[in-house]
Amino acid sequence: MRNRRLGGLKFRRQMRVGPYIADFLCAERRLIVELDGSQHADRCDADRRRTRYLEAKGYFVLRFWNDDVLRNPEDVQEEILAVAGP
Protein backbone atom coordinates (compact mmCIF):
# COMPACT_ATOMS: atom_id res chain seq x y z
CA MET A 1 0.00 0.00 0.00
CA ARG A 2 3.04 2.22 -0.06
CA ASN A 3 3.74 4.88 -2.65
CA ARG A 4 0.29 4.65 -4.26
CA ARG A 5 1.06 1.14 -5.53
CA LEU A 6 -2.43 -0.10 -4.70
CA GLY A 7 -4.68 1.34 -7.38
CA GLY A 8 -3.04 4.74 -7.10
CA LEU A 9 -4.60 5.23 -3.64
CA LYS A 10 -2.69 7.14 -1.01
CA PHE A 11 -2.70 5.35 2.33
CA ARG A 12 -1.11 6.80 5.43
CA ARG A 13 0.05 4.58 8.27
CA GLN A 14 -0.81 4.98 11.93
CA MET A 15 -3.17 7.94 11.59
CA ARG A 16 -5.09 9.31 14.55
CA VAL A 17 -8.87 9.39 14.21
CA GLY A 18 -10.33 10.69 17.45
CA PRO A 19 -9.09 8.52 20.30
CA TYR A 20 -7.96 5.74 17.94
CA ILE A 21 -4.98 5.08 15.70
CA ALA A 22 -5.96 3.63 12.31
CA ASP A 23 -3.47 1.16 10.84
CA PHE A 24 -3.94 2.52 7.29
CA LEU A 25 -6.12 5.42 6.24
CA CYS A 26 -7.03 6.55 2.74
CA ALA A 27 -8.52 10.01 3.27
CA GLU A 28 -9.69 10.50 -0.33
CA ARG A 29 -11.90 7.38 -0.13
CA ARG A 30 -12.72 7.63 3.60
CA LEU A 31 -11.36 4.10 3.96
CA ILE A 32 -9.56 2.57 6.93
CA VAL A 33 -7.79 -0.78 6.72
CA GLU A 34 -7.14 -2.50 10.04
CA LEU A 35 -4.77 -5.47 10.38
CA ASP A 36 -5.61 -7.66 13.33
CA GLY A 37 -3.30 -10.08 15.05
CA SER A 38 -4.27 -12.89 17.39
CA GLN A 39 -4.67 -10.47 20.32
CA HIS A 40 -7.85 -9.20 18.66
CA ALA A 41 -9.57 -12.56 19.11
CA ASP A 42 -10.11 -11.58 22.76
CA ARG A 43 -11.06 -7.98 21.98
CA CYS A 44 -14.16 -8.37 19.80
CA ASP A 45 -16.30 -5.94 21.82
CA ALA A 46 -13.60 -3.27 21.83
CA ASP A 47 -13.05 -3.73 18.09
CA ARG A 48 -16.81 -3.38 17.44
CA ARG A 49 -16.92 -0.13 19.46
CA ARG A 50 -13.90 1.15 17.57
CA THR A 51 -15.44 0.28 14.20
CA ARG A 52 -18.76 1.94 15.14
CA TYR A 53 -16.91 5.09 16.17
CA LEU A 54 -14.91 5.22 12.93
CA GLU A 55 -18.01 4.58 10.83
CA ALA A 56 -19.85 7.35 12.69
CA LYS A 57 -17.01 9.64 11.60
CA GLY A 58 -17.74 8.70 7.97
CA TYR A 59 -15.11 6.02 7.37
CA PHE A 60 -15.59 2.55 5.91
CA VAL A 61 -13.53 0.06 7.93
CA LEU A 62 -12.04 -3.11 6.47
CA ARG A 63 -10.48 -5.62 8.84
CA PHE A 64 -8.10 -8.38 7.89
CA TRP A 65 -6.29 -10.94 10.00
CA ASN A 66 -2.51 -10.67 9.73
CA ASP A 67 -2.46 -14.31 8.66
CA ASP A 68 -4.71 -13.54 5.65
CA VAL A 69 -2.45 -10.69 4.58
CA LEU A 70 0.60 -12.95 4.71
CA ARG A 71 -1.00 -15.96 3.02
CA ASN A 72 -3.33 -14.27 0.51
CA PRO A 73 -2.05 -10.76 -0.19
CA GLU A 74 -3.63 -10.68 -3.66
CA ASP A 75 -7.08 -11.45 -2.24
CA VAL A 76 -6.68 -8.74 0.38
CA GLN A 77 -5.61 -6.22 -2.26
CA GLU A 78 -8.56 -7.15 -4.47
CA GLU A 79 -11.01 -6.64 -1.62
CA ILE A 80 -9.51 -3.25 -0.74
CA LEU A 81 -9.75 -2.15 -4.36
CA ALA A 82 -13.31 -3.44 -4.69
CA VAL A 83 -14.39 -1.40 -1.67
CA ALA A 84 -12.38 1.69 -2.66
CA GLY A 85 -13.95 1.73 -6.11
CA PRO A 86 -12.63 3.43 -9.22
Residue of 44 and 82 predicted with greater confidence: 82
Per-residue confidence (pLDDT) for residue 39, from 0 to 100? 63
Q: Tell me the CATH number at 14.
A: 3.40.960.10
The residue segments making up the domain with residue 44 are 2-84
pTM across the whole model: 0.87
Beta partners for residue 35, in sequence order: 64
What is the rounded distance in angstroms from the CA atom of residue 20 to the CA atom of residue 49? 11
What is the rounded distance in angstroms from the CA atom of residue 73 to the CA atom of residue 78? 9
Per-residue confidence (pLDDT) for residue 25, from 0 to 100? 96
User: How many structural domains compose the chain?
Assistant: 1
What is the rounded distance in angstroms from the CA atom of residue 26 to the CA atom of residue 13? 9
